[in-house]
């Protein structure tokens, strides 16, 4: 599904990623763990083309490292950044629908994808008319997940989704992710997290990154 080979990223001459190699299989959920500044977010941003990188990024056998950043979501990659980054000028529903409008999806296809989002996160339907700027941090993370799912039909990248969430909301978020995986067994997920304990219940593999290099990749003897 996704192959990162020898991925290097430098920001202001400082190396952030130093030859990251990471493979994510079809339908696999990978917990991508590491300390703050280890390179988790940069790996996801490089995959989305939001930061300049060298090395290979291969999605479903196709090299995408030369594909412009704005065309990558159209390949089936959804991305929910760490700090939600909703568009506060729009309502919650407009935020979720915008990727489909930009991708020029048909009305039927948009409805199908919206139904998928609402089946996993029914609370978003009620929140729909609210201004995106008025939702709480935790609710915002749900909206960001919903928005990422509109285009993320093959791969979804979630950056620190549990950070700052109250335990109740963190459980709810994890429940939604389990529902997502149960519903779509072919969807691959990469979830970054500083605390791997949270992800053990549903990740198949835990990959550890440290100082821009992959240190460890271990399978989880998981409940599923």
- CA-nearest of 24, 29, 2 to 184 is 29
Q: Which of 27, 11, 34, 65 is closest to 213 using CA atoms?
A: 34
Query: Considering only residues 6, 25, 35, 69, which one is a binding residue for other proteins as defined by CB under 8 A?
Result: 69
With CB under 8 A as the contact rule, which of the stretches 7-15, 89-97, 108-116, 166-174 interacts with other proteins? 89-97
* 147 contributes a contact to other proteins by CB under 8 A: yes
Q: State which of residues 102, 112, 115, 216 lies at the interface with other proteins (CB under 8 A).
A: 102
1 in Cβ contact with 24 (< 8 Å): yes
Rg over CA atoms, the chain = 17
β partners of residue 213: 210
Is residue 78 within 8 Å of residue 156, measured between CB atoms? yes
By CB under 8 A, name the one of 34, 99, 138, 212 that touches other proteins. Answer: 99
Among 6, 25, 26, 101, which residue interacts with other proteins (rule: CB under 8 A)? Answer: 101
Spatial distance between the Cα atoms of 178 and 218, rounded to a whole number of angstroms? 20
Applying CB under 8 A, the span of 25-33, 74-82, 187-195, 216-224 interacting with other proteins comes to 74-82
User: How far apart are alpha carbons 47 and 55 in whole angstroms?
Assistant: 11
Is 92 or 198 the residue whose CB approaches other proteins more closely? 92
Q: Is 210 in the site for other proteins (CB under 8 A)?
A: no
CB under 8 Å to 224, separation ≥6 — which residues? 202
Instruction: Choose which of 35, 60, 63, 71 interacts with other proteins (CB under 8 A).
Output: 71
Sheet holding 54-59, edge to edge: 14-24, 2-11, 54-59, 62-63
Q: How far is the CB of 162 from other proteins (least distance, A)?
A: 20
- Considering the rule CB under 8 A, would residue 107 count as an interface residue with other proteins? no
Part of the chain binding other proteins (CB under 8 A), chosen from 26-34, 70-78, 111-119, 168-176 = 70-78
Q: What is the rounded CA–CA span in Å between residue 61 and residue 57?
A: 9
Task: Assess 52 for contact with other proteins (CB under 8 A).
Answer: no
81 binds other proteins (CB under 8 A): yes
Report how many residues bind other proteins under the rule CB under 8 A.
Answer: 26
Q: Which is nearer to other proteins, 63 or 89 (CB)?
A: 89
Is 157 within 8 Å of 77 (Cβ atoms)? yes
> How many whole angstroms separate alpha carbon 19 and alpha carbon 223?
32
Name the site residues for other proteins (rule: CB under 8 A).
Answer: 48-50, 68-71, 73-74, 79, 81, 85-90, 94, 98-99, 101-103, 147, 150-151
């Amino acid at each position: 599904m996704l192959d990162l080979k020898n991925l290097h990223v430098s920001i202001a001459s400082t190396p952030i990623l130093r030859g990251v190699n990471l493979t994510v299989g079809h339908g696999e959920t990978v917990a991508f763990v590491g300390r703050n500044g280890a390179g988790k977010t940069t790996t996801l941003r490089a995959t989305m083309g939001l930061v300049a990188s060298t090395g290979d990024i291969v999605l479903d056998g196709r090299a995408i490292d030369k594909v412009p950043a704005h065309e990558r979501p159209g390949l089936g990659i959804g991305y929910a950044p760490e700090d939600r980054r909703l568009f506060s000028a729009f309502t919650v529903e407009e935020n979720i629908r915008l990727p489909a409008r930009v991708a020029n999806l048909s009305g039927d296809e948009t409805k199908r994808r919206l139904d998928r989002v609402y089946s996993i996160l029914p609370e978003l339907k009620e929140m729909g008319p609210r201004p995106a700027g008025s939702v709480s941090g935790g609710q915002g993370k749900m909206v960001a997940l919903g928005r990422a799912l509109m285009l993320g039909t093959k791969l979804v990248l979630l950056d620190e989704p549990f950070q700052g969430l109250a335990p109740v909301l963190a459980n709810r978020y994890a429940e939604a992710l389990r529902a997502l995986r149960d519903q779509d067994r072919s969807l691959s997920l990469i979830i970054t997290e500083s605390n791997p304990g949270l992800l053990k219940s549903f990740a198949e593999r835990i990959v550890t990154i440290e100082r821009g290099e992959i240190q460890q990749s271990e399978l989880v003897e998981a409940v599923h």
